[in-house]
């Protein structure tokens, strides 16, 4: 057998254990960072989806609110509901049912934590008690603010539409 010479550059068992422990700590730390990055990506993807749904609903509301048929076609105008007859004679209702924004019977966005509809007159002043059918409405524009919250993330989407056929 060969004998080890003094000053040999080999590893002792203690050095190997310390090196393996440090390697394990580094690998576990990198794994934790990777999991956190995956979670952040999933949250961001979900948030984009929420914003997309809410933005699409907001755009649809704005487009349809512009199509109110005439002065007497607004049948309900409250802070939680807007109902009217459009230029094609369709009865359109936007409202909050529990935590769902609905358009007639269809759910447009789920997990709504807030819906505020504000109505404005010709001068852009907010109307406290809008006139509705059978009277001629005094509403000239309507603003919708949606607050959506999912998994602790909350954001607002808002739009304002001028009623085209109301004078």
pLDDT of residue 35: 80
Backbone angles phi, psi at 60, to 5 degrees: -60, -45
Q: Is residue 24 part of a domain?
A: yes
pLDDT of residue 167: 79
The tens digit of pLDDT for each residue in 70-118 reads: 999 999 999 999 999 999 999 999 999 999 999 999 999 888 899 999 9
Helix (H/G/I), strand (E/B), else coil: 167: coil
Rounded to the nearest 10 degrees, how much is the dihedral formed by the CA atoms of 64, 67, 71, 77? 0
- Pairing relationship of beta strands 153-162 and 141-150 according to DSSP bridges: antiparallel
- Low-confidence residues of the chain, pLDDT below 70? 1-8, 41-51
The domain total for the chain is 1
> What is the full DSSP assignment across 101-163?
EEETTEEEES-EEEEEEEEE-TTSPEESS---TTSPP---EEEEEEEEEETTEEEEEEEEEE-
Q: Is residue 2 part of a domain?
A: no
pLDDT of residue 120: 96
Q: Is residue 127 part of a domain?
A: yes
Query: CB pairs under 8 A, 24+ apart, for 34-39?
Result: none
Q: Is residue 4 part of a domain?
A: no
Name the token pair of 113.
């934590």
Contact, 97 vs 120, CB < 8 A?
Answer: no
Q: Is residue 132 part of a domain?
A: yes
Backbone angles phi, psi at 111, to 5 degrees: 60, 45
Q: Is residue 48 part of a domain?
A: yes
pLDDT of residue 50: 58
Q: Is residue 3 part of a domain?
A: no
Backbone angles phi, psi at 55, to 5 degrees: -65, -40
Q: By residue range, what is the domain housing residue 40?
A: 13-162
Q: Is residue 89 part of a domain?
A: yes
Name the token pair of 42.
């999933």
């Amino acid at each position: 057998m060969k004998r080890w010479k003094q000053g040999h550059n080999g590893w002792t068992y203690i050095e190997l254990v310390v090196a393996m422990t440090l390697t394990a700590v580094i690998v576990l730390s990198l794994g934790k960072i990777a999991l956190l990055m995956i979670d952040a990506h999933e949250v961001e993807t979900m948030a984009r989806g929420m914003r997309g749904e809410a933005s699409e609903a907001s755009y649809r509301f704005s487009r349809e609110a512009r199509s109110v048929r005439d002065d007497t076609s607004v049948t309900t105008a409250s802070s939680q509901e807007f109902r009217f007859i459009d230029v094609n004679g369709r009865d359109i209702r936007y409202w909050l049912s529990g935590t769902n924004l609905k358009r007639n019977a269809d759910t447009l966005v789920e997990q709504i934590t807030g819906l505020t509809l504000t109505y404005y007159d010709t001068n852009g002043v907010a109307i406290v008690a809008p006139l509705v059918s059978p009277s001629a409405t005094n509403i000239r524009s309507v603003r919708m603010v949606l607050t959506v919250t999912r998994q602790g993330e909350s954001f607002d989407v808002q739009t304002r539409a001028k009623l085209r056929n109301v004078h």
